[in-house]
Every structure is written in C-alpha cells, then in structure tokens.
Amino acid sequence: MSFNKASFDIKLIKQPGTVSPRKCHISEIVGRCLLVFGGIDNRGNYMKDLICYDIQSSKWIPLNVDSHELYANGIAFHKSSLVTQNKFCDIYRQDPDLKFSNQGVYVFGGQDKFGNYLDTFIRIDVYQKPIRIELVDYKGSSPMARCQHSMNYNEALGAIVVYGGKNDDNTVEGFLNDLYLFDVRNSSWIQLELKGAQMPGRCGHSSSCLDTKIFIFGGYNYNGFVKSDVLVVELDSNVSHQLIQSDKINQDKPRNSKIAVSFRQLPEKSNTIDKTNERQKEIEKLSFKNSHSFLPMPRRVTMLINAMRFGQEPKKSKDLSGLNSNKNSPKDGNRRPHRNLTVLVDGK
C-alpha cells in the first residue's frame, strides 16, 4: 500500500512472493528494507521467522539469517527498537563512521503459544551477513517478563526505554507501571522512579520519544480504557532533579493569606416601617361607596373576602341548601355574566 502526497491517493501494491498474513508482530525499517519478525498467522500459529520487504522493488525478498534456537514456541505481543546512527544504512552493510558496534534491532518481552510471558532480550544484527539473532549480555536487573508494553530508542540519551505492559503471573493487578532504561553503549539496565502525577499501570498503549522526554498515551487496565491524558516523563536525571527542586520551592513558599474585605452600610429598619405605614394610609383614603359591581354572589370564602375588599356587601340567601360550589348560575334562572374582579366606579 502506497500513499501519494500530491493527489492524496492510496494504492494497494501487489507484491510477488508468498508471505502468510499475521498480527501481533514487530516491524522496523532498515535502509530500504522493512523487516518483520514473529507474530501470529491466520491459522493461529506463533511465528519466529524474520522476513524482509524491499521498498524500492516492492517485493518480498529472502534473507540470509543465521540459524538460532530462540523462541522455539514462537513469539507475539513483543516490542522492538532500532538502534543505529545511520538510518539510511542498508542491511548487510556497516557504516565506517559508527561510534559503537552493538547496533541493530533490539527485541524484548512477548508471549509464546502457551501463554507464557517472556523476558527474553535479543539483538538482531542486521549489518552482518548472515544476519545474527543473539541474546544480549547485559548488566543490572532487567524488567520482569511482560507483553503489550512500549519500547522506544531515545537518541538524546542513547538508551532504550521500556514502559508498562502486562503480566498476570508475577503481579496481583497484572498491569505494570514501571519504567526502565537500557544504556546501549554500556549494556546495562536502569530502573527509574516515577515521581509527580500518579498514573495507573497499563498495557496496549503507545509511546514516542522527543529530546529527553517520552510521551505515553492510551492503553487499558483493570478499570477499562485509560483516560486520554498524555503522560510526559522527563528521562534526564539532571533536568528531572531541577523540576523536583522547583516543585519543592513552590510548595514551601508561604501563600498570601490576606483577603480583601469590603463593607457596606445596611438600610435601617425604621425607614422600611415608615414607608409601609405611608402606603397603608393611602389605601385607607380610597372609597368604594359610589361603586357598582357586577361580581356574582360569593359562594366560597375566598370570593367573600374579595367582595369585602371592594366594599360590596353580599346579599343573604334564604335557601343555603341550594348553594353548590360547582354551580355558577343563580337560582332565579337568569344567567349573569361571570366577571371576576370587574368593578365600575362612578367618578365625581
């Protein structure tokens, strides 16, 4: 499959040769070749072969690989990193300007066909002919066996970074939250202590290195999907020490405890009482003696109160038994207009 940047077209490249479909493998580009190692094929078989795709000729080509006895039960869910000073150097060739000799494709972790977690750490020397696949002789304590972790080469530090992963055998929760550095030139493992924001363990995530930092995103754990926060880890010990010291200084600084307070005078209660008395006197001046109302005879207590408010004296009914709250017409049979709170006042 190729992508045209000018027309934004994607084309499927038909390459000669027979290669079984697979998943959960690793791949690295060395010069003009795409190397693929291990994985699971479409029949569920765990593979341990190393195959090569020539990018220029668009076809799979055979490799001259030295025989080895590693991964007898296959390997999948592993991770890899290409360690080189010249990314354009092809396989079977060595750059005379190389400053250190132990370069190549490093592979760590994974699972075999029986579900066993692997802690095998190998180096594929792609610059030798035949290509050699060998165990790495290292110093220090290596990471525990795991799969679905992340593995990156940090060029600024000259080290391989391994973070997280899954191991149900040696841990209770099964999801790892540890960080390891492998110094390529000294062939030694170093475990780093994570400080700052507390993040849960994870697997199935992705990570990338920039300068002396590693950016980690995604993954899942016992709670499901990990939140979409990007975890940024500073790998340089000097820079991280300065960051820790600056955080301590900021925490030790005394906080400004002064609070701005403003005062305002509340109105006196006597003024409110005087205004209420004035309104009451104005209401008493109103007279409804010369008014005529079309209000119906009160049938409820609330209607009686409303009639009294407008100065109307309700007529006494001789037969109180015929009063019904559900009847709106009077007993004389003449329907009266039902106008609530409608008052005509004779103005003089």
In a 13 Å sphere around the CA of 137, the CA atoms on its Cβ side amount to 1
Please check the confidence at residue 322 and state whether its pLDDT lies above 70.
Answer: no
How confident is the model at residue 311, as a pLDDT? 53
| Averaged pLDDT, 185-211 | 90
Provide φ and ψ at 276, rounded to 5°.
-65, -40
103 pLDDT above the threshold of 80:
yes
Bridge partners, residue 3, by sequence:
10
> CA angle, corner 155, sides to 150 and 160, nearest 5?
35
Long-range pairs for 229-238: beta carbons < 8 A, 24 or more residues apart? 229/199, 231/197, 231/199, 233/163, 233/179, 233/192, 233/194, 235/154, 235/157, 235/159, 235/161, 235/181, 235/192, 236/156, 236/157, 236/212
Residues of the chain with CATH 2.120.10.80: 13-249
Query: Letter for the amino acid at 109?
Result: G
Options 2.120.10.80, 2.40.110.10, 1.10.8.190, 3.40.80.10; which CATH number does 13-249 get?
A: 2.120.10.80
Q: pLDDT per residue over 134-172, tens digit each?
A: 999 999 999 999 999 999 999 999 999 999 999 988 777
- The pTM score is 0.67
Q: How far apart are CA 207 and CA 149, in angstroms?
A: 9
- Beta strands (DSSP E) in 268-323 are 291-293
Q: Comparing 15-19, 186-190, 324-328, which segment has the lowest mean pLDDT?
A: 324-328
* pLDDT at residue 240, as a whole number: 78
Kind and range of the H or E run holding 208 = strand 206-210
In degrees, rounded to 5, the angle at the alpha carbon of residue 102 between the alpha carbons of residues 100 and 107 is 140
39-48 pLDDT per residue, tens = 999 999 999 9
Dist. CA 7–CA 131, nearest whole Å = 39
6 vs 35 pLDDT, higher one:
35
